[in-house]
Amino acid sequence: MTRLSVNLNKVALLRNSRNIGIPSVLRAAELSVGAGAHGITVHPRPDRRHIRPSDVYDLSDFLKRYPQVEFNIEGNPFPEFMEMARRIKPVQCTLVPDVPDAITSDRSIYRTRSGSRCIGNGHDRCCEGIPTSPN
């Protein structure tokens, strides 16, 4: 069965470019879930050009009311990102070790065949209990 996870990065990018707080990332999540989305995906980057850490925490709190909706955070495994993953414990965490000035991501960290942990650059300890996306 095909499942839809709505990526909210462009909503945040538009909000950040306007500098007036709209459109709301949280409202976009509410509309997506209300329309039947099976998941919400965000990619907080170190440069904070779209999703910000505060968005991730707000979305995590919101999605606690919807346990059937998958929360996927993806991003470069920099320390702040890894701390968010450990605190939030999203349904899925996609590790994307792209270079800081990348326009878009083009890779992810491999996981073991069993899917039990991610590997590479010593980040396997961060993923305990959180499914990680295969490359």
pLDDT at 26: 97
Reduced to 3 states (helix: H, G, I; strand: E, B; else coil), residue 72 is: strand
For the whole model, what pTM was predicted? 0.79
Q: Indicate if the pLDDT at residue 127 is higher than 70.
A: no
- Domain that residue 76 falls in: 5-127
Number of folded domains that form the chain: 1
CATH number at 64 reads: 3.20.20.70
Whether residue 74 is contained in a domain is answered as yes
pLDDT range class, residue 97, cuts 50, 70, 90: confident
d(CA 9, CA 22): 13
Q: pLDDT tens digits for 33-64? A: 999 999 999 999 888 888 999 999 999 999 99
Whether residue 133 is contained in a domain is answered as no
d(CA 85, CA 11): 21
pLDDT range class, residue 113, cuts 50, 70, 90: very low
Whether residue 135 is contained in a domain is answered as no
d(CA 69, CA 56): 15
